[in-house]
Structure 1
């Protein structure tokens, strides 16, 4: 009988991403230990949970002593917490990568340094700055908090310069604490994301480009592989590699992109596994979650190729009846174990097929039962039907 000790993965944050990391690690013989400030964090249903504040050094010290490596469930873990832990245990991705993705100004600046074009952007700290920034970006534009924004939060769209007072009233109070950034609005043609993984030895892989649709700033649908993007895949992969090597990144990350006039523009980088990569659980040879676990523990990376075509859709606010999806051929249901709440991601579902036309047939059949036409319209548009 082997006495080899199972490695322990420490995860900061106890949401659905930590939950899926723990599930993905179990077949590899990897145990998980999760830290979150909430006692009902949903990852605690599948892995031991330490309830602690991000600045509770006593609890974090005990946590660090029990794990082999630490990673993140979300990017808003305080940078000083990440640095403190990195002095005691290996932390991947490294705190520098985390800090770059936490600040939209630093992030956009990094993109341009790596050769990735972005919409015009200007830092904003005062009401007068906002007027000066509008003179640079023009309108429409989007005023955003530099930190702590996600899923459309911390943003205000200005349709014209006349909206400046309303935008400042909505977000100006956050300027002193975190700073703001004004970004030119991009009349993009498509939203894409490239999911990438880099190992501790520098090995690098990407999954096929994913096409995404958002509703009220929250991801609603992802289709992979994105149709008609063969010319963009090498460019997206090269940009992701440049970013990863610049940051000495280890683990999975998502690079969100706009397509405008056939060119890629950088929107955001998520230094973690990402919602638009959930389709990889059933639709790729190796999921983003398994490859993240492999990467941070120094294991060989798995094949990131797609098995066919996949459509992933989020359940926001509450879960519908799972029966129709479960009756669908190659349909997969994921309940995050969260309490229902307006605007909250409570689960997702994925439908897979050997090709896009079969995927459309399955989405159409499902839509007839659940009464939701968006997946069908999205796939029809994407495949040109």
Structure 2
């Protein structure tokens, strides 16, 4: 096995391509944006839409295994590729994660608790669901939402829901109940094609305006809570027949109980800390998994904090470079926009 195809050309694809190169693999990116961050470090790029069948066949012909860097890859594209090449993670992982209702039903079927929820397909259903949740909850698009986009929060019965269904596009929605959490955490786990599973230590996450701000390791949770997270990740990986790295996000309640928020069938922003604090990062772990190489055990050698550089935060890079025990990773993006992830820094504690 020599060449890896990566669908998606953003920063996650970029870091996967860099990890692949260290292990002597070639990478080809499928991405419609010319000179995308991933293509700047890969061996080649096919400039085409993610559902372009001719381009998908070209990718399959050129590669030995195919992966993806984001969960909104068309399921049909993954299924087409899987007819001739291994696709890791499998198309089933995309199908589950792309719809928030399907995802929660899947998690509940694995014995993993989530927030209560209602599927919403009309303004009338929204108003009925809000009544069930005492006027409170988070309304989200079922598909294609990320980094806080496609959401509306109802904090009390005084919040008027009139027009909310139409305001979010009159598309299938989900209303989730509030979870009285004390903190948020995530765990990064991997499964090899031989069924071997390895988990990294959980990270404690802080979000600002719906976008991850920092991930701190170790998280402020006890070993019992950590073990519950490991077991949940293991159950998810096994149920999906998964190969590769996955991110699983949780709310942590006051008693240490976990409520799963969502899964991400790919390398994950809250796992970037592994690049600085582990011998084998989540990106190399993913490459190892999909190419049949042995997995690392995920052990970390240092405590750390990872912080995203968002928008104009890129102007602070010189000061970050002057700090000791700090890794700076920039994504090759030329235009800084509000809310755009430009890079990240990780400092060892």
Aligning the two structures, in what range does the TM-score lie when normalised by the shorter sequence? over 0.9
| Aligned twin of 1:207 | 200
Q: Which moved more, 1:84-93 or 1:155-164?
A: 155-164
| Aligned twin of 1:167 | 164
**Structure 1 unaligned blocks of 5 or more:** 1-5, 353-358, 360-385
Equivalent residue in structure 1 for 2:34, among 39, 42, 56: 39
| Aligned twin of 1:91 | 87
Equivalent residue in structure 2 for 1:278, among 272, 276, 293: 272
Preserved contact between residue 139 and residue 184 of structure 1 (Cα < 8 Å): no
The CA deviation string for residues 255-307 of structure 1, in whole angstroms up to 9 with x for no partner, is: 00001132100101000000000000011121000000000111110130111
| Aligned twin of 2:176 | 183
| Aligned twin of 2:296 | 302
Alpha-carbon distance in 2 for matches of 1:217, 1:229: 26
Count of paired positions: 344
Preserved contact between residue 88 and residue 243 of structure 2 (Cα < 8 Å): yes
| Aligned twin of 1:54 | 50
SS at match of 1:106: helix
Alpha-carbon distance in 2 for matches of 1:103, 1:211: 25
**Structure 2 unaligned blocks of 5 or more:** none
The CA deviation string for residues 45-100 of structure 1, in whole angstroms up to 9 with x for no partner, is: 10121110122211211111010111111000111111111112110100011110
The CA deviation string for residues 176-233 of structure 1, in whole angstroms up to 9 with x for no partner, is: xxx1100011121000001000000000010001000000000000001213432211
Structure with bigger helix share is: 1
| Aligned twin of 1:347 | 343
4+ residue stretches of structure 1 with deviation over 3 A? none
Query: What is the CA-CA distance between 1:166 and the residue it aligns to?
Result: 4.7
Alpha-carbon distance in 2 for matches of 1:327, 1:284: 22
Alpha-carbon distance in 2 for matches of 1:229, 1:325: 31
| Aligned twin of 1:225 | 218
Alpha-carbon distance in 2 for matches of 1:104, 1:340: 30
Is residue 343 of structure 2 the alignment partner of residue 337 of structure 1? no
Preserved contact between residue 121 and residue 137 of structure 1 (Cα < 8 Å): no
Preserved contact between residue 7 and residue 68 of structure 1 (Cα < 8 Å): yes
Alpha-carbon distance in 2 for matches of 1:229, 1:51: 47
Preserved contact between residue 310 and residue 342 of structure 2 (Cα < 8 Å): yes
SS at match of 2:161: helix
Q: CA RMSD in A?
A: 1.2
SS at match of 1:212: strand
Query: What is the CA-CA distance between 1:170 and the residue it aligns to?
Result: 2.1
Alpha-carbon distance in 2 for matches of 1:42, 1:105: 32
Query: What is the CA-CA distance between 1:39 and the residue it aligns to?
Result: 1.0
Alpha-carbon distance in 1 for matches of 2:263, 2:282: 15
The 5 Å alignment of 1:54-73 reads 54-73=50-69
TM normalised by structure 2 equals: 0.96
